[in-house]
Structure 1
Amino acid sequence: IKYIWTAISKVNNRVLKVHTTDYPGNYPGYDDAWNMADFKKNFRIDIVDMDENTMEFDMVGIDASIANAFRRILLAEVPTMAVEKVFIYNNTSIVQDEILAHRLGLVPIKADPRLFEYRNEGEDDEEGSEIDTIKLQLKVKCSRNPRATKDSADPRELYLNHMVYSKDMKWVPIGNQADVFADINIGPVHGDILLAQLRPGQELDIVMHCVKGIGQDHAKFSPVATASYRLLPEISLLETVEGEKNTQLPWTLD
C-alpha cells in the first residue's frame, strides 16, 4: 500500500501531457496545426546562468520532445577532441596499461574542435598531422625526497612526483601548431584529475594522440558530463480560489 501511495503521489505532483497532440485538427474550433510563423513568434531562449563549465537556459514555447532532442544532440552529436591512441613506452606503476589508457582517454581535452579536421579512418600515418591530431606527452618518474624527515610517514613528504595528475599531460606541437595555437593553452580541461600513484623507481613515459570525434562513437567524445532538462509549465487558474480550496493546492495563494 505504501508503494502504491508513493507512486500516486509522484504522479500527482508532476506535470502530465507535456507534448502536443498526435492528431492535430481533431478539436472543433481549435487550430493546433504546426505553423512556422507562430513558432518563430512564440519561441525564445532565455539564458539563466552561464560560466566556463555550465550553462542553464530556458526554452519557452517549445514541445518537450524537441527539448529532449536538443539534449540528445548535446550528448551525442557535438564534436570534441579526446585521446584516441596511447603509446606506452614505459609503465612500471601498478596500474595496468589497459586501465591507464582508458583513464587517459576519458580526460577532457581543452581544444576547439572547429580548428581541426576529422581523421580519416584506416589512415596509415600513426603520427597524424597538424590539422587532425593533438599530441600530448606524460613523462613522470618518482624518487625519494632527500629533505624528508626520518620519522615522517607521509607519502607527500617522503616522495617526489608520486601523484600523477592530468596537469602532467604536456602538449607537444605538431608541425606549425606552435604558431597557429600560440594563444591557446591546449591540454586537459582540469589539471587535478588523478591518473596514477607511483613509488620510488616507478615511472611513466606515454605519448597520446587526440583526434576529433562525437559522443555517438564513444562516450569520451561527449562534451557534457550531464545534459538534462526539466519542465517549466505555465499554470493558469480559471477561477478565483479562496478559503479551504486555497489550502488544498500544493502552494499558497496570497
Structure 2
Amino acid sequence: MPNNRFPKLHILSSSPHTLTFELSETDVSVANTLRRMLIADVPTLAIDLVSVHENTTCLLDEYLSHRLGMIPLRYYDDTANRYGDPSKEFREPRDCTCEDGCPKCWVTFTLGVQFSDKTDNPNTKTVSITSADLKSSNSNVSPASFLSEEEEENAQEEGISLVKLARGQHLYLEARARLGCSKEHAKWCPVAVATYRFIPEITLNTPALSKLTLKQREELVECCPDQILKIDDVTGQIILAEDYEDKATFTEDLHYLQESMKGSPEDDNFITVKQSESRFVFTVESTGCMHPVEITRSAMRRMEEKLIMLKGECAGINEGV
C-alpha cells in the first residue's frame, strides 16, 4: 500500500493578477490535476444570453454577442475586501429554485448608447462603445476592463472595445450573465496562464570534477545557456548558481559535452541534472475576473469535493459487494 502524502504549498510571489507557488511532497498526477482544475473547474461569471433590441452598428448581433460573452466579469467580495469567488454569492441556474431567473443566479447588464451620447464634436467621425458602457444590476459585479491602474491610465479606451459608432448609429441591448465553468465554454475560464514546471535536481560529482582542467570546467559552465553553474573564485571548482532552481532547463548539450570528456563511457557523469518527482512551481495568471489566490483556493475546493464524492462512490461499491 502506498505511503500517505501530505502536499505542501509555498507562495513564492503574489500580485493582484499573478501568483507563483511551489507545490511539494506530491507527484505529477496531483500537480496535473490541479492545473486542469485551475483551467476548467473554477466557476466564474460570464455573459450567456444577449437580447439585442436595436443595432445599427457595422457588426451583426452574433458578433456583438460573442464579444460580450468574452468580457471577463469580476465579483467584489465585501467580506474579503477584494475581487473574489462569485460562487460564494451566486448559484448556477440549474441549481437554483427559481423558475425564470433571479438575482441569485443571473446578473443583468444593459447597454444603450447612441453617437450623440458620446460626443458633441462635429469633427468626430466615430466613437467607441466599450465594456465601461455596460450597466450592471448588481453593484458588486462589473466588467474587468483593465488588469491594473497603470494599464487603465495608459489605455486609449475607457474599457474593452466592443464596436465603433458612426454618426447617427446606436445600440440598445440587454445581456444576462450567469455562473459557469470553462469546461462548458472558454468564456468562463478564469486564467490566461496556468502552468507548472519541474524543480531541477542537480548533483555535482566533486571527485570527478576535480580531475578536470580549469579549461574543461569552464567549458561545462559555458555550455549551459541558463547559467545554472559557475566557477568558484577561490577554489576554481564548479558550484551551483544561487538561483539555479529558477533558471534550470533540461538541455542535452551538457550531456554530450560530458561524454566527450570522460575517459571511458562507463565513468560516472560529472554533473547530473534531472527533474524532481515531488516538487513543482506553478504560475497562475488571472484574466482579471478573480484574484489568483482565490482561483487557486477555488480549484482546491473543487478537487476536494470531487475526491469526497469519489470516496463515497467507492464506499457504496464496497458495501454492494
> Do both proteins adopt the same fold according to a TM-score greater than 0.5, normalized to the shorter chain?
yes
Once the two structures are TM-superposed, the CA of residue 146 in structure 1 deviates from its matched residue by 4.2
SS at match of 1:248: helix
Matched, 1:196 2:160: no
| Deviating 4+ runs (over 6 angstroms) | none
The aligned amino acid for 2:28 is: A
Give, in whole Å, the separation in 2 of the partners of 1:138 and 1:218. 24
* Structure 1 or 2: more helix by fraction: 2
Structure 2, gaps ≥5 residues long = 76-85, 147-158, 233-321
* Residues 123-163 of structure 1 deviation map (CA, whole Å, 9 limit, x = unaligned): 9955x101101111111111385445xxx5xxxxx157x10
Q: Match for residue 137 of structure 2?
A: 172
Corresponding residue of 1:226: 193
From the superposition, tell whether residues 48 and 116 of structure 1 become closer, same or farther in structure 2 (CA, over 3 Å).
same
Cα RMSD of the aligned pairs, angstroms, is 2.5
2:3 is the counterpart of 1:35: yes
Query: 2:176 is matched with which residue?
Result: 209
Q: Is 1:142–1:159's contact at 8 Å kept on the other side of the alignment?
A: no
Question: Given the alignment, which residue of 221, 230, 235 partners 1:252?
Answer: 230
Question: Could you tell me whether the CA contact under 8 Å between 1:87 and 1:208 is conserved in 2?
Answer: yes
Counterparts of 1:97-136 in structure 2 under 5 Å? 97-111=61-75, 112-120=86-94, 125-126=99-100, 128-136=101-109
The residue number in structure 1 matching 2:112 is 139
> Could you report, residue by residue, the CA deviation over 1:208-250 in whole angstroms, capped at 9, with x for unpaired residues?
1111111111111111112111222222224343432453242
Give the corresponding residue for 1:187: 142
SS at match of 2:191: coil
- Cα distance change, pair 253–231 in 1 and its aligned pair in 2 (3 A): farther
Q: What is the match of residue 27 of structure 1?
A: none
Paired-residue identity, %: 29
Distance 1:85 1:145 in 2: 30
Deviations 1:51-107 (A, max 9, x none): 221211111233233212211111111111111100100111001111110010010
Give 1:190 shift: 1.3
TM-score, scaled to structure 2: 0.56
Range with greater deviation from structure 2 (93-102 or 61-70):
61-70
CA distance in 1 between counterparts of 2:171 and 2:194 reads 35
Runs of 5+ unmatched residues, structure 1: 1-32, 153-157, 174-181
CA distance in 2, matches of 1:44, 1:145: 56
Secondary structure at 2:35's aligned position in 1? helix
Equivalent of 2:47, from 83, 87, 92? Answer: 83
- What amino acid is the match of 1:52? P
3-state DSSP of counterpart to 2:201? coil
- Aligned mates of 1:246, 1:66 — CA distance in 2: 39
Whichever residue aligns with residue 220 of structure 2, its letter is Q
Contact between 1:117 and 1:131, CA under 8 Å: does it hold in 2? Answer: yes
| Partners of 1:198 and 1:98 in 2: CA distance | 17
SS in 1 for 2:199: coil
Q: Distance in 1 between matches of 2:2 and 2:219?
A: 39
Q: 1:108 and 1:147, CA in 2 relative to 1: closer, same or farther beyond 3 A?
A: closer
Residue identity opposite 1:248 in structure 2: L
Conserved in 2, the CA contact under 8 Å of 1:145 and 1:159?
no
Deviation at 1:253, TM superposition (A): 3.7
Going from structure 1 to structure 2, the CA distance change for 1:253 and 1:63 (only over 3 Å counts) comes to farther
